[in-house]
Amino acid sequence: MNKTAVNPKVIYNRIYRKRATDAGFCCTCLKNPARPGFGTCESCAVKKQADYHQARVDRKAANLCLKCGLNCPVPNRSLCVDCATLKAALARDRATSKMKAGLCRRCGTNKARTGSTHCERCTLKITSTKYFGDISQYKLLGRLFVEQNGVCPYTGIKLGLGVDASIDHIIPRSAGGSNDADNVEWVHIWINFMKLSTPKSVFNGKLDDFLIAAVKHRFGVDLSSHATDLSAVSPALSSVSST
């Protein structure tokens, strides 16, 4: 047998396709001009999007992996084992290469903050999603951080965004407190851990009591008799207590 025979029609099609896309035509229909910065025209893009969604709906109805449509998905997940593993590996690779370049692992464009893997903007967006359900409040959180000079009001510790800064509700959500700007503030993550759903009015001025209770709960050590020397327990604690 000689070398793999190539169908001249395939070659012709390929060359024709390349010429058309080089000339700025849609890579799918080869008729309409492609949208600026994209490979496809408007109508092909709409059709592709609709097909994609329909395929997902069909696969979901047939209980198949949403990505490959071949295997059964992992229970309570939308992807099969192979697709999920591949997706995780790709995400890890992307994150690693961004981090090696000192870039934020979320957006990949801004520089990551010192001691964090995210840029300031993405850290605020992640925090907003965590507490408010979406990124809508990230600018507000940024303004709040600046207004507080980045300092925890309870401990006076300089907070690091994405490191030890967390959002606390002054009147807890469980007690009917709102999600508005005047009911949230940045506090050290350990304050949130100790305060839980205690209202600010109750927690204020009782930091030591809460700290001792938290240490007892977390480390099983009773510090009530020598509350001044917390450094032996944990470096994180000593940074909280050294007001």
User: Minimum Å distance from CB 116 to Zn ion?
Assistant: 10
Of 26 and 165, which CB lies nearer to Zn ion in the complex structure? 26
User: Minimum Å distance from CB 124 to Zn ion?
Assistant: 9
Of 65 and 194, which CB lies nearer to Zn ion in the complex structure? 65
Cα separation of the two ends of the chain = 83
Dihedral in degrees, nearest 10, Cα atoms 76, 81, 84, 89: 150
Q: Please name the amino acid found at residue 132.
A: F
The site for Zn ion (CB under 5 A) is made up of: 26, 28-29, 32, 41, 44, 65, 67-68, 71, 80, 83, 104, 106-107, 110, 119, 122
The DSSP line for 107-132 is TSSSBPPTTSSS-HHHHHHHHHHHHH
User: Minimum Å distance from CB 228 to Zn ion?
Assistant: 41
CB 92 within 8 A of CB 85: no
CB 141 within 8 A of CB 179: no
Of 29 and 170, which CB lies nearer to Zn ion in the complex structure? 29
Of 86 and 151, which CB lies nearer to Zn ion in the complex structure? 86
Q: Please name the amino acid found at residue 174.
A: S
Of 80 and 165, which CB lies nearer to Zn ion in the complex structure? 80
User: Minimum Å distance from CB 53 to Zn ion?
Assistant: 18
Of 18 and 173, which CB lies nearer to Zn ion in the complex structure? 18
User: Minimum Å distance from CB 236 to Zn ion?
Assistant: 26
The DSSP line for 165-189 is EEEEESS-GGGT--SSGGGEEEEEH
Listed as own residue / partner, the contacts of 119-122 with beta carbons closer than 8 Å and 24 or more positions apart are 120/161, 120/162
Exposure class string for 31-62: b at 16+ Cβ within 10 A, else e: eeebeeeeebbeebbeeeeeeeeeeeeebeee
Helical (H) or strand (E) element with 147: helix 138-147
User: Minimum Å distance from CB 143 to Zn ion?
Assistant: 18
Of 119 and 212, which CB lies nearer to Zn ion in the complex structure? 119
User: Minimum Å distance from CB 32 to Zn ion?
Assistant: 5
| Three-state DSSP state, 15 | helix
